[in-house]
């Protein structure tokens, strides 16, 4: 199936005697292949690495698989056992600029891009931070400052900060197993799912304008993918540039990425900002290393300011309270969500980027350790797999510091 063609045609790839279709590409066993071939299923745009130098990664690979990990229930497993039990397509650990572990247990090519799902959100949040640093985006400004049309949606009165921290009052269900939840209806709008309702708009931005307000803006944290899609729209309007070229210029090129990334786009060319970016595993640790180094990439480029990262780690005085008041279970007591990143611990500065079906970047600035994992869990969410992986990276970080 060629780039730009819709999944579901009869000549699509066959996985275990079943073709990959629009209905099944996010289900096992098809998703293992689909997550590594998004460009073959859907229209995408290139996020160019540019022509600058590649951030070199020295290889000093060790065997970390025997490191013991104490899980939340007291069970002790080895890192290798956790990676084997969590549908891992690839995992990598770096310290400063050295690769200390890199594994592809299911045959994924190291140069193969993989769908990041909601790890994409943290990339969009970083672009927003770079725009704030340049004075082009004001976190306190109403969204209508940049996109006046949002004044006729439920986002009227919301600010950029509300999007960054997912604290608007918008009605948006993130129930992945409910086909009528907004997170799944959004997929109908962009062409990632069969159209169940003919009244659903045919573009991302037209769908976002239909969202309604249910509560006051600035209330509790509630995880909603639509927030990032509006944030991406705001970034484009503030910069006067579409996200693929904007992200290339502000993030991917100065990062010293080795490969181009891609982003899925709708019929009007708008990006799937909340979960449609695809990148290689090694480029994810280059992104994480930049965060661990206070916003400076391994090539020496300042991507975001130390002040933006300080704000990300500290949050507002009520950020942890808003997180604790979330109507959905976060399973991170004392944690926080800030600037499109998860901060899972109240007493350690750890940044985490998360995506459904098992995508993760782990950043520990204190030890210089960065970990990344790309997966194909059969289920969108799985608490044991997520928190076992988080504990594995914690244990690695302590063992090699």
* pLDDT for the residue numbered 60: 87
Cβ-Cβ contacts under 8 Å for 72 (sequence gap 6 or more)? 387, 391
Of the options 3.40.710.10, 3.40.50.10490, 3.40.309.10, 2.30.30.40, the CATH number for the domain spanning 42-399? 3.40.710.10
Residue carrying structure tokens 């045919």: 202
Spatial distance between the Cα atoms of 339 and 46, rounded to a whole number of angstroms = 24
The DSSP annotation for 185-224 comes to HHHHHHTSS--S-TTS-SSHHHHHTT--B-S-TT-S----
Please count the CA atoms within 13 angstroms of the CA of 17 that sit on its side-chain side.
Answer: 0
Q: If DSSP codes are grouped into helix, strand and coil, which group holds residue 370?
A: strand
Q: CB of 177 within 8 A of CB of 192?
A: no
Q: What local confidence, expressed as pLDDT, does residue 13 receive?
A: 85
Specify whether the backbone of 59 is left (phi greater than 0), alpha (psi in -120 to 50) or beta.
beta
From the list 124, 183, 128, the residue with the least C-alpha distance to 159 is 128
Strand pairing category for 58-59 and 98-103: parallel
Question: 62, 118, 305, 375: which is the annotated catalytic residue?
Answer: 118
Instruction: Give the integer Cα–Cα distance in Å for 250 and 41.
Output: 27
Q: In the prediction, which pLDDT does 391 show?
A: 98
Whether residue 135 contacts residue 187, with contact meaning beta carbons closer than 8 Å, is answered with: no
| In 212-269, beta strands by DSSP E | 261-264
Report pLDDT for 21: 95
Instruction: Based on the residue annotation, tell me whether 118 is a catalytic residue of this protein.
Output: yes
Q: How many CB atoms lie within 10 A of CB 110?
A: 13
Domain extent listing, the chain: 1-31, 42-399
d(CA 384, CA 12): 33
pLDDT tens by residue, the chain, 401 residues: 333 333 433 346 887 778 999 999 999 999 999 999 999 999 999 999 999 999 999 998 889 999 999 999 999 999 999 999 999 999 999 999 999 999 999 999 999 999 999 999 999 999 999 999 999 999 999 999 999 999 999 999 999 999 999 999 999 999 999 999 999 999 999 999 999 999 999 999 999 999 999 999 999 999 999 999 999 999 999 999 999 999 999 999 999 999 999 999 999 999 999 999 999 999 999 999 999 999 999 999 999 999 999 999 999 999 999 999 999 889 999 999 999 999 999 999 999 999 999 999 999 999 999 999 999 999 999 999 999 999 999 999 999 97
| Residue 313 in tokens | 């780690």
pLDDT at 12: 61
Q: How far is CA 362 from CA 64, 129, 191, 314, in A?
A: 16, 19, 31, 18
* Torsional sign, CA 27, 30, 31, 35: negative
Predicted pLDDT at 401: 78
Show Cβ contacts of residue 300 under 8 Å, excluding neighbours closer than 6 positions: none
Does pTM top 0.85 for this prediction?
yes
């Amino acid at each position: 199936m060629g780039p730009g063609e819709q999944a579901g045609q009869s000549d699509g790839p066959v996985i275990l005697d079943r073709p990959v279709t629009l209905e099944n590409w996010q289900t096992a066993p098809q998703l293992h292949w689909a997550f590594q071939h998004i460009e073959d299923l859907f229209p995408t745009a290139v996020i160019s690495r540019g022509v600058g130098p590649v951030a070199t990664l020295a290889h000093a690979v060790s065997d970390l698989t025997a490191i013991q990990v104490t899980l939340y229930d007291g069970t002790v497993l080895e890192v290798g056992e956790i990676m084997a039990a969590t549908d891992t397509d690839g995992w990598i650990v770096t310290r400063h600029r050295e690769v200390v572990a890199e594994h592809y247990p299911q045959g994924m090519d190291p140069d193969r891009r993989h769908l990041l799902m909601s790890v994409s959100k943290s990339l969009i949040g970083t672009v927003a931070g770079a725009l704030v640093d340049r004075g082009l985006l004001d976190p306190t400004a109403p969204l209508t400052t940049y996109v006046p049309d949002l004044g006729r949606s439920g986002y009227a009165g919301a600010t950029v900060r509300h999007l960054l921290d997912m604290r608007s009052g918008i009605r948006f269900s993130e129930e992945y197993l409910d086909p009528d939840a907004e997170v799944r209806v959004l997929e109908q709008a962009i062409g990632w799912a069969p159209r169940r309702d003919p009244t659903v708009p045919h573009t991302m931005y037209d769908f976002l304008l239909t969202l309604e307000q249910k509560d006051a803006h600035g209330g509790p944290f509630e995880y909603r993918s639509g927030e990032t899609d509006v944030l991406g729209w705001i970034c484009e309007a503030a910069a006067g540039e579409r996200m693929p070229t904007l992200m290339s210029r502000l993030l991917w090129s100065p990062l010293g990425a080795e490969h181009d990334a891609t982003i899925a786009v709708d019929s009007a060319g708008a990006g799937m900002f909340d979960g449609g970016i695809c990148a290689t595993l090694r480029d994810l640790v280059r992104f994480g290393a930049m965060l661990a180094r206070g916003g400076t990439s391994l090539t020496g480029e300042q991507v975001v300011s130390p002040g933006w990262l300080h704000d990300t780690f500290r949050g507002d005085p009520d950020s942890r309270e808003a997180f604790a008041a979330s109507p959905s279970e976060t399973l991170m007591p004392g944690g926080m969500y800030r600037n499109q990143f998860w901060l899972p611990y109240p007493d350690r500065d750890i940044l985490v980027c998360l995506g459904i079906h098992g995508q993760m970047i782990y950043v520990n600035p204190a030890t210089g350790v960065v970990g990344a994992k790309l997966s194909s869990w059969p289920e969108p969410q799985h608490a044991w797999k997520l928190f076992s992986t988080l504990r594995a990276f914690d244990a690695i970080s302590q063992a090699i510091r």
